C-alpha cells in the first residue's frame, strides 16, 4: 500500500509555492487589482510595486531594471530570445547545444540551426562549438545547467569562444549569447557580466515561485521583435496587461533563492553524496549519468541496466515516492530522451534511466527510504 507520507523528488519539474511568496502575491489578486498602465494614483502605486520587483530581479543579475522583461515562464522567455532575434535575420544561423530544453530546440529549428555535440558527461564540446559558429551566426544558445542530468555548462568558456568568434568575423552581423538558466537559478551565480551572456532566461516555477512566471534578461541595445503585439508593455516586447501578482511572486522567490543558495547548495550536496554512497552499496550496477563535479547539487540521474523506468516509477509511486524519467515537458513523448541520446546512451539505457531531484524539503530520511525502496524494487 502507498504510505501516508509522500516523498517528492521531482523538484526539477516543479517546486511548491513558498508561503512568503504567496503572501506577497495575494494583495494583487484582490485589493491591489489595478491596471499598472492606468494613470490614477491607485494604479500608479501598483506600477511602482511592479517596477520595484523588476529592480529586485535586476539586482541579482547585475543588470539595469530596463533590461528585465517579465514573461509567462521559461519557455516563453526562450522563445522570445530566439524568435525575437532570428526573425530579423532569416538568412542567418543559430547554434545551440544538442541537449537544450525543447523550448530552445524547437524554436531554433525554425531557422538554420546547428547543434553542438556534448561529451559523455553532458558537457558541451567547446571545440565543436568553435567549429559550428561562422560569419553567418547571429545567436548561440547554451543552457546554464541541464534539466535532466544536472550537468553545469562552463558558460564563461562558452562566452570566450563566442567573443573570439565575434572578434575575428568578417561579416557585419551581430553575434549574441543566450543561456537558459531555469534549473540553475536556485544554486548558481546569475551575474550576467560574470557569465558573459547577452540574454538569460529565468523561470519562477522552478524556484518556489508561481508557475507561468519568469523573466528574460536582454542586454541594453539588443533589438528584439515582440511575439505579442498590442499596448507596448514590457518595453514593447510583451504586450498585454502585466501579471502583477506573478511578477511580484517571481521577484520574491528569486530574492529568497539567491539569498539562501550557498547554504542550500551545501545542504543538498551532503544529501546527494549520501544518495550516491548508498547506491554504490545497494545497487552497484547503477550508472550515474552527467558530470560528477560540475553538477547541480540536487540532481541524481541513474541508469539501472536491464530495468524499465516506467515500471520502476509506478512502483516507487505506489511506495509513496515521486520521481521522473526525465524532463516533465517531454514526459508525454514515447521516444527516449534526446539529452541521453546526445550523451551517447543507447535507447535501451535511456529507457532504464531515472531522475531524482531534491529540494528544500528533502531530508536525510527521504534519501534513505528512497534508496532502500529503489534497491528492493530493482533487485
Locate all alpha helices (DSSP H) within the chain, ordered by sequence.
19-25, 41-61, 74-86, 102-108, 126-132, 155-168, 192-195, 244-282, 309-318, 338-342, 347-350, 364-378
CA 17 – CA 19 distance, rounded (Å): 6
CA 185 – CA 104 distance, rounded (Å): 17
Place of cell 504586450: 239
297 HSE (CA, 13 A, CB side)? 18
pLDDT of residue 112 exceeding 80: yes
Q: Report angle CA 104, 247, 33 to the nearest 5 degrees.
A: 135
pLDDT of residue 205 exceeding 90: yes
Mean per-residue pLDDT for 363-368?
A: 98
Q: How confident is the model at residue 327 (pLDDT cuts 50, 70, 90)?
A: low
Cell of 314: 509506478
Helix axes 364-378, 309-318, angle to 10 degrees: 130
b/e map 246-265, b = 16+ CB within 10 Å: bbbbbbbbbbbbbeebeebb
pLDDT of residue 346 exceeding 70: yes
Mean per-residue pLDDT for 48-75?
A: 98
CA 28 – CA 157 distance, rounded (Å): 42
Residues pairing with 258 in the sheet? none
At residue 336, the pLDDT reads: 84
* 336 touches 23 (CB < 8 A): no
Residues pairing with 302 in the sheet? 288, 354
pLDDT of residue 185 exceeding 50: yes
Cell of 2: 502507498
Cell of 239: 504586450
Nearest to 361 by CA among 27, 4, 19, 77: 19
Nearest to 357 by CA among 149, 144, 123: 149
Per-residue pLDDT reduced to its tens digit, 85-96: 999 999 999 999
Mean per-residue pLDDT for 255-267?
A: 98
Mean per-residue pLDDT for 290-305?
A: 97
Handedness of CA 78, 81, 85, 87 (dihedral sign): positive
User: Can you give the pTM of this predicted structure?
Assistant: 0.95
Per-residue pLDDT reduced to its tens digit, 209-231: 999 999 999 999 999 999 999 99
Is residue 329 flagged as an active site residue? yes
Write down how long the chain is. Answer: 379
At residue 379, the pLDDT reads: 84
Q: How confident is the model at residue 3 (pLDDT cuts 50, 70, 90)?
A: very low
pLDDT of residue 1 exceeding 50: no
pLDDT of residue 286 exceeding 60: yes
- Total Cβ atoms within 10 A of residue 278: 17
Mean per-residue pLDDT for 245-261?
A: 98
At residue 2, the pLDDT reads: 40
Per-residue pLDDT reduced to its tens digit, 331-342: 455 678 999 999
Place of cell 525543447: 102
**pLDDT, mean over the chain:** 95
Mean per-residue pLDDT for 234-261?
A: 96
Query: What does DSSP assign to residue 36?
Result: T
pLDDT of residue 102 exceeding 80: yes
Q: Which domains does the chain have, with CATH numbers?
A: 7-16+260-378 (3.90.1150.10), 19-257 (3.40.640.10)
Per-residue pLDDT reduced to its tens digit, 145-165: 999 999 999 999 999 999 999
At residue 334, the pLDDT reads: 64
Question: Given 17, 329, 375, 377, which residue is catalytic?
Answer: 329
Residues pairing with 287 in the sheet? 303
* 157 touches 111 (CB < 8 A): no
At residue 34, the pLDDT reads: 93
Amino acid at each position: 500500500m502507498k504510505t501516508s507520507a509522500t516523498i517528492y523528488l521531482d523538484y526539477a519539474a516543479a517546486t511548491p509555492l513558498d508561503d512568503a511568496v504567496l503572501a506577497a502575491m495575494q494583495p494583487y489578486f484582490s485589493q491591489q487589482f489595478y491596471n499598472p498602465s492606468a494613470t490614477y494614483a491607485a494604479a500608479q502605486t501598483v506600477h511602482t510595486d511592479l517596477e520595484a520587483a523588476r529592480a529586485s530581479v535586476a539586482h541579482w543579475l547585475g543588470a539595469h531594471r530596463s533590461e528585465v522583461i517579465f514573461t509567462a515562464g521559461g519557455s516563453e522567455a526562450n522563445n522570445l530570445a530566439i524568435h525575437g532575434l532570428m526573425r530579423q535575420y532569416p538568412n542567418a544561423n543559430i547554434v545551440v547545444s544538442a541537449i537544450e530544453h525543447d523550448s530552445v530546440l524547437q524554436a531554433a529549428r525554425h531557422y538554420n540551426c546547428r547543434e553542438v555535440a556534448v561529451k559523455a558527461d553532458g558537457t558541451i564540446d567547446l571545440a565543436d562549438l568553435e567549429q559550428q559558429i561562422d560569419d553567418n551566426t547571429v545567436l548561440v544558445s547554451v543552457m546554464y545547467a541541464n534539466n535532466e542530468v544536472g550537468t553545469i555548462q562552463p558558460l564563461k568558456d562558452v562566452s570566450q569562444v563566442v567573443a573570439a568568434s565575434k572578434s575575428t568575423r568578417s561579416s557585419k552581423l551581430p553575434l549574441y549569447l543566450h543561456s537558459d538558466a531555469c534549473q540553475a537559478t536556485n544554486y548558481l551565480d546569475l551575474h550576467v557580466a560574470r557569465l558573459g551572456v547577452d540574454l538569460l532566461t529565468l523561470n519562477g516555477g522552478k524556484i518556489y515561485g508561481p508557475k507561468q512566471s519568469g523573466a528574460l534578461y536582454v542586454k541594453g541595445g539588443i533589438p528584439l521583435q515582440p511575439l505579442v503585439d498590442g499596448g507596448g508593455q514590457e518595453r514593447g516586447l510583451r504586450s498585454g496587461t502585466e501579471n502583477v501578482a506573478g511578477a511580484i511572486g517571481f521577484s520574491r522567490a528569486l530574492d529568497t533563492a539567491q539569498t539562501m543558495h550557498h547554504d542550500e547548495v551545501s545542504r543538498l550536496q551532503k544529501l546527494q553524496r549520501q544518495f550516491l554512497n548508498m547506491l554504490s552499496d545497494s545497487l552497484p550496477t547503477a550508472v550515474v549519468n552527467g558530470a560528477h563535479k560540475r553538477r547541480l547539487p540536487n540532481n541524481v540521474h541513474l541508469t539501472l541496466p536491464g530495468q524499465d523506468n516506467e515500471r520502476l516509477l509506478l512502483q516507487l509511486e505506489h511506495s509513496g515516492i515521486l520521481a521522473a524519467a526525465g524532463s516533465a515537458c517531454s514526459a508525454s513523448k514515447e521516444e527516449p530522451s534526446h539529452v541521453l541520446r546526445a550523451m551517447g546512451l543507447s535507447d535501451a539505457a535511456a529507457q532504464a534511466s531515472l531522475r531524482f531531484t531534491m529540494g528544500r524539503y528533502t531530508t536525510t530520511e527521504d534519501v534513505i527510504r528512497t534508496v532502500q525502496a529503489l534497491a528492493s524494487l530493482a533487485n
